[in-house]
Structure 1
Amino acid sequence: MLDKILYNTVLSQTLSPCGKYLIAGNIYSQLAVYDLDRILNPVVELLTSDYNKPKYIHTLESGSQICSLASTEKFLIVGTVNEISGWDWKNAVSSKLSKPSWVIRIPSRSSMEQTDVNSLWLSEDESKLYAGCGDNNVYVFDLEDGRLVSTFKGHNNFIHAIDGRQQQLITASEDGCVMLWDTRTSSNHNKLEPHNNSKVSRPEIGKWVGSVALGEDWIVCGGGPRLALWHLRSLDAVTVFDIPDHGIHVSFFHDDSVFAGGAAKHFYQLSYSGEVKVELPVSATTVYSAVLRTNPKVLAIAGSSPEIDLCTTFNYRDQVLHFR
């Protein structure tokens, strides 16, 4: 058990629809449930030494690492190996986790194939679930009945991250490519290869792209290549961010800023022009997950550590949660 504490790695996080609960998933098939109201607004008289530990820890029967998490109004969605499961939120935040409300199996060529569900993205109406997987494909499932609607094929190595906006989906892969897709036709209509751009290429780290986010006019992505802001239509690298990382695993847009982290001592808030607005020290040696609640503001940062950092002002760590 001591080893588990020392070597815990949190791969994924999500927030409940009400924003009250933070759910974190680790490599040991555990889901930690944190009551954010209790942690951020404690009653001093009732404060105990374990206030910053999970309210509950659920262990999944599959024993598979929890690669990705997502949330709808109804369900906590958990991506593991070879399958995606959905739990009713009331069940997910209760003391005992019962059987999931539904399970979707990832299509496979053989029973021996192990396919990690590395990234999940929901359509804006929450009717379709997009799963970026370790077999190089994106699978699209109808959440009403669980059926496979379509498959996006084009990458030749596993998919690290997916994001979307309206009728566009964007994917980032170990193969070094960022692909843009039309969700109506499941077709790839543009491709970006950051490792072929001398401004961002870092061959000593690799060509893999670990994170990608899609804005109205911009793409932000990084991995082995440096974190950079790309113009969506021209696919030109407009801003290359000068931060001391050894690989990017998280990036997203918020309030005209880029938030990013990875193998670095800090998590960054950056302007589109490249200015470092905030450097947040982090507990993890490598950040694999960051989730944001906008009202009231909470940013949760997690990775290769049993600690999860909570920030409410984005300028410093307010709390450090323990996943143990």
Structure 2
Amino acid sequence: MIETQLWHPVIASHQVRDEPVACALLGQALVLWREQGHDGARVHAWADRCPHRGAQLSLGRVLTGLHGARLECPYHGWQFGASGRCQHVPAAPDFVPPAGHAATVFEAREHHGLVWVRLQTPVEALAAGLVDPPAFAPGNDAAWRQVLCGPYELDTSAPRLVENFLDLSHFGFVHEGWLGERSHAQVHAGAVEEGEAGLVVRDARAWQPRAFAGADAGAWMAYRYDVPHPYAAILRKDATEGDPVSNAIALFIRPDGHERCTAWFAMATQGDSATDQELVAFQDSVFAQDRPVVESQSPRALPIGRSAPATEVHGPADRVSSTYRRYLLRLGIELGTC
């Protein structure tokens, strides 16, 4: 299953502090904890199960001392070092635990304000864009400001949510008065390219009466989309004329099952006078408009024709979503598709 070989966001970084935190990924219970060190505070992701008697390690505590950081089991106090191997058994202090006395360790990284976890090392070479967590670097200029929005928990599949994010033609109906107008429903789907780094959409355009949190007038917006991961997409948009504001928004999704997911939006903006709180409130409002429609779609899994002919028809404005479905089919994505 390729999904276990991909990096997925599991929780916001700021939620993992001094105590272990429980979460889950693709049905695997995880414990996340931080190791304070000279090179910063590294985050660890392990199976949330002590190898001794199966207690949840997330109910334990993080210890710091001369021997480095350790995670202590809440049941018998066994202490596990950063490598996952047991370092101390209080009931038998002279016992030297063998290598097999160890927690199950998964790879973990932090990017874009999120903790990313990969459950399985790839068994075969992945496409270049899937080796690491998706990149999101709208610019090196310090004027770019970044804000994390979410989490948003939904009763729909991750691919359905990505496709909604890539869809311009719903703006005038779902987001009327915010991101679109019925009287300006026509869109330019742009040019779509598919390669080793995923999908790239260039020269897409849509009219928006309020294209960003601080906007007070409408404008034609130029869109560029990147889809570097089956459950992630990045949008860069700029006004085609006269507007000093630039925005980039990354959608990162944790698949929670075939028909459930949790999403975060990493927002980067330049020249926008809105506060961080206003940016979050704007994204919350836009997403609240999307939620009932996306959750109403049937089936909740995205029909890509993996095991049978796809059950949905397409229009001229659906070029991007059609290419995205072929991309999922090529990768062999099963979770959230049908």
Q: TM-score, normalised by structure 1?
A: 0.26
Question: Which structure's CA Rg is the greater one?
Answer: 2
The structure with the greater share of residues assigned to helix is 2
